[in-house]
Amino acid sequence: MHIVAKKIEIKGLVQGVGFRPFVYRLAVEHNLKGTVENNNRGVFIHLEGNDEQLKKFISALPKRIPEAASITVMDNFPVKVEHFRDFSIINSRSVSDEITEVSPDIGVCHACLDDMKTQPHRINYPFINCTNCGPRFTIIKDLPYDRRQTTMTVFEMCDTCRKEYSDILDRRFHAQPIACNHCGPWYTLHEKGKTEENLEKIIGEACRLLEAGKIIAIKGLGGYHLACNPFDEKTVSTLRLRKSREGKPFALMVKDFETAKEYLLINPEEEKLLTGWRKPVVLLKIKKEFAPSISIGLNTVGAMLPYMPFHHLLFEKLKLPALVLTSGNLSDEPIVIDNTTALKKLGAVTEAVITYNRDIHNRTDDSVAFVANKKERVIRRSRSYAPSPIQLNFDAEGIFAAGAELVNCFCIGKGNQAIMSQHIGDLKNMETLEFYKESIQRHERLFRFRSQLAAMDMHPDYLSTNYVRQLDIPAVAIQHHHAHIASCMAENGISEKVIGISFDGTGYGTDGNIWGGEFMVCDYLDFDRKAHFEYIPQPGGDAVTKHPWRMMTAYLVHYFGENVLNEQTELFKNIDQKELEIVLFMLKNKINSPLTSSAGRLFDAVSALLGICRDTTYHAEAPMRLEAAAEAGLQGFYPFEITQNIISMKPAFEMMINELNNGESPGTISAKFHRTISEVIVDTVKRISHETGIRDVALSGGTFQNRIILEQAERQLASAGFDVYSHAHIPSNDGGIALGQLAIAAKKREVGEFFKR
Ligand code: ZN
Ligand code: ZN
Ligand code: FE
């Protein structure tokens, strides 16, 4: 037999997902000899055998990779035959190799769901997992990823599990959280001072309570959930009261994909996202109604499919096709992860609490994503995404980026990789700030990270900025919108100058005003603010975000003078007279009315103007409802003026008011307003490009979570011949800003800028 040898190089998500044991089994199956090894560039395979078998192996490999793995590049080339006698896995040698091995959590795989019905020691076992699936980041305390470094360490493997764990041909070879009905963790139901540990009874009682309209708490993978019937308005509104969550939409878990199709409109890309191994909450259009207060004023709802064995077991028995499954916390606190707190805090607002006795070490919320222009867009990056690294084409070792303040994530640099933290939340909440600090410490330990340089927002009062100030290392303050664009550049691997469009709610500007509707020409090192929305006073400062009508008043008075109150009485009809007078007084006397160029505030004003949302109960409610109201398929847009790089929306407001007075529907006006914003974008980009010759455009900032704006801007810019870059795997909102901060600091260090506090 003629022996040939080949080397195969594979790049992509191939580490920490059971890839090497998979390659081993495939090689043995094909009767091939050689080795497989990990290094920081990917997986390398040395194969020896007859030509026919080698070919078969190479064609079978991509088709049979583990669910959570993905291949971006696979090359093979002939090498010298070394006459291996068997096939073996070579261990990762350097520390940096180990680091890439922290895999995110992986939803339970199909093979395990089958095993749950057939393997005698795992019948209905709710913690079943294998090398291809199960908890990872949430249970890891330290590296290397080994059972004793996870919260599974307290469970002693039984003989059966140990045999599987040690058998390289078994799917559970080196599956660190391996467990079964005899040796692993178990669930406990706590109800009215009594406990129940029989799983069948727990599921039975959970179904009874949920079907009867009760609220229960269930321990998830990265934290607790609160669950209830999403079709029962009384139950859903009770949940709102008990959780002190007035209007923010609730996420759902739907039984399976078939059921999801009945209730939601799902396109092929959304299907891929929904059914993939990460199981994020996907924002989808509603087809069949749920209880009205699930997502008030919106035409979408966030839905996910079961991702823990327990979820599958629950839906097997439950008579409801879906559940509200919202984060188990009160108000804005971080989600509860430990059992004692759950029993105390969540126990007080629920009928029963279902716990289990494996600890969650790293808290992760459910991730949230949507699809725009056929691409996945992550807007909350947490469970099953963190801590997957982002590849950079520059060195970021030792850089800590603190992030912003709302929807905070921080970021650390390890060599040519950026590791974004899981979603942390709003740092103004005391418990969340604690979680921030704790998570930083845990990332330092887990990734052997020592910060040498810190990057922070320019905002003097951000708590993340405060945190950096007390570190004893050099720090660089970075303008918020520059960081947004840099984040988009880093995600897309571009380093040439771009025209950056950074639209969001708020960010500290270099002139001390509030920015948020910015066009800048920038690279990592510097930015040049080329154009922005006209400054409008923001009466009451941050408080306006709760009262979009205030922003409407500010816009109208700014453009048309105080007379507008007498001329357009209809617009001010339902506004409290006293409050209106206070706002007018603030505007007139320039009291507590910082100037803003924010796109978010512009959307607030229009949402209020159209009577869609005048007061809010959660962040970005007014723009979200404005987007939901927009009627699809309409053409036309409103005029606007650009003088000396200041974009004035005065003509647009004139026409919107006219149309409103002529009885035009808010849905039509909203659609035209959205088109107006994309026209502003394209028009301004063309001007800047004409002046600078730049053809690359980067879109970032929370406003690009608006699907209409994102899709229109991308399409129109592309058809005008620009190369358009936007976010996909990193949030465009402030949850993605740390990546930009990190990139800017890295590049500044590269050119030898040194920072002193
Ligand atoms: Zn599995
Ligand atoms: Zn066992
Ligand atoms: Fe922002």
pLDDT in tens, 148-187: 999 999 999 999 999 999 998 899 988 999 999 999 999 9
- 344, 235: one domain: yes
| Cα of 197 from ligand 2 centre, angstroms | 18
| Cα of 256 from ligand 1 centre, angstroms | 18
Pick from 333, 356, 379: which residue ends a domain?
Answer: 356
Angle formed by the axes of helices 650-661 and 548-560, nearest 10°: 110
Which two structure tokens, joined as six digits, stand for 307?
A: 């991702």
| Cα of 188 from ligand 2 centre, angstroms | 19
Closest ligand to residue 731's CA: 3
Q: Does a structural domain hold residue 604? A: yes
d(CA 414, CA 450): 10
- Note the helical H segments in 456-613: 463-469, 480-492, 548-560, 564-567, 577-588, 599-609
| Cα of 736 from ligand 3 centre, angstroms | 9
Q: Does a structural domain hold residue 127? A: no
How many CA atoms are closer than 13 Å to the CA of 221, on its beta-carbon side?
Answer: 33
Q: Does a structural domain hold residue 712? A: yes
Closest ligand to residue 277's CA: 1
| Cα of 358 from ligand 1 centre, angstroms | 18
Has residue 755 got a pLDDT over 90? no
E strand map for 60-165 = 70-79, 87-90
d(CA 123, CA 350): 29
Q: Does a structural domain hold residue 32? A: yes
| Cα of 420 from ligand 3 centre, angstroms | 17
- 566, 700: one domain: yes
- 344, 230: one domain: yes
pLDDT tier, 71 (very low <50, low <70, confident <90, very high otherwise):
confident
- Taking Cα atoms as reference points, which of 563, 108, 51 lies closest to residue 315? 108
Q: Specify the CATH number for the domain of residue 71.
A: 3.30.70.100
d(CA 427, CA 430): 7
Has residue 255 got a pLDDT over 70? yes
Q: Does a structural domain hold residue 299? A: yes
pLDDT digit string (tens) for 1-46? Answer: 789 999 999 987 787 678 888 999 999 999 999 999 877 677 899 9
Residues 6+ apart with CB under 8 A from 428: 405, 463
| Cα of 168 from ligand 2 centre, angstroms | 17
Has residue 278 got a pLDDT over 70? yes
| Cα of 156 from ligand 2 centre, angstroms | 8
Q: Does a structural domain hold residue 373? A: no
Closest ligand to residue 184's CA: 2
- 81, 195: one domain: no
Q: Tell me, what amino acid is at 28?
A: V
| Cα of 566 from ligand 3 centre, angstroms | 36
- 200, 308: one domain: yes
- The reported pLDDT for the residue numbered 598 is 98
- 646, 538: one domain: yes
| Cα of 184 from ligand 2 centre, angstroms | 6
Which two structure tokens, joined as six digits, stand for 416?
A: 């040519």
| Number of separate domains in the chain | 3
- The reported pLDDT for the residue numbered 160 is 98
Has residue 95 got a pLDDT over 60? no
d(CA 362, CA 143): 14
- Taking Cα atoms as reference points, which of 105, 738, 134, 143 lies closest to residue 388? 105
Residues 6+ apart with CB under 8 A from 348: none
- CA 557 to chain centroid, in Å, comes to 38
Pick from 341, 356, 371: which residue ends a domain?
Answer: 356
What's the whole-number mean pLDDT along residues 297-321? 97
Question: What residue numbers bound the domain in which 674 lies?
Answer: 533-725
d(CA 700, CA 483): 9
Pick from 32, 65, 93: which residue ends a domain?
Answer: 93
- 708, 569: one domain: yes
Which two structure tokens, joined as six digits, stand for 271?
A: 């299907």
pLDDT digit string (tens) for 553-575? Answer: 999 999 999 999 999 999 999 99
Has residue 756 got a pLDDT over 50? no
Tell me how crowded residue 650 is: count the other CB atoms within 10 A of its CB: 15
Cross-strand partners of 727: none
What letter would DSSP give residue 344? I
- Count the residues in the chain: 757
pLDDT tier, 100 (very low <50, low <70, confident <90, very high otherwise):
low
Residue whose pair of structure tokens reads 């908890």 in the numeric block? 135
| Cα of 712 from ligand 3 centre, angstroms | 20
- The reported pLDDT for the residue numbered 97 is 44
pLDDT tier, 757 (very low <50, low <70, confident <90, very high otherwise):
very low
- 210, 89: one domain: no
Which two structure tokens, joined as six digits, stand for 665?
A: 């529907």
- 63, 194: one domain: no
Classify residue 325 as left (phi > 0), alpha (psi -120 to 50) or beta.
Answer: beta
Q: Tell me, what amino acid is at 726?
A: S
| Cα of 563 from ligand 2 centre, angstroms | 77
Cross-strand partners of 303: 252, 282
| Cα of 287 from ligand 3 centre, angstroms | 32
- The reported pLDDT for the residue numbered 101 is 62
- 54, 196: one domain: no
- Taking Cα atoms as reference points, which of 359, 15, 308 lies closest to residue 134? 308
Contact 499, 691 (CB under 8 A): no
pLDDT digit string (tens) for 138-148? Answer: 999 987 778 99
| Cα of 131 from ligand 1 centre, angstroms | 6
Q: Does a structural domain hold residue 512? A: no
Torsion sign over Cα 650, 653, 657, 662: positive
| Cα of 278 from ligand 1 centre, angstroms | 13
Contact 350, 226 (CB under 8 A): yes
Q: In this structure, what are the phi and psi dihedrals at residue 442, rounded to the nearest 5 degrees? A: -70, -35
- 580, 692: one domain: yes
- The reported pLDDT for the residue numbered 725 is 98
Q: Specify the CATH number for the domain of residue 313.
A: 3.90.870.10
Closest ligand to residue 462's CA: 3
Q: Specify the CATH number for the domain of residue 627.
A: 3.30.420.40
Ion ligand 1 residues within 5 Å by Cβ: 109, 112, 130, 132-133
| Cα of 539 from ligand 3 centre, angstroms | 20
- 195, 336: one domain: yes
- The reported pLDDT for the residue numbered 73 is 86
| Cα of 371 from ligand 3 centre, angstroms | 21
Q: Tell me, what amino acid is at 702?
A: G
Looking at every residue in the chain, the average pLDDT score rounds to 95
Has residue 250 got a pLDDT over 80? yes
Residue whose pair of structure tokens reads 């970075």 in the numeric block? 478
Q: Does a structural domain hold residue 412? A: no
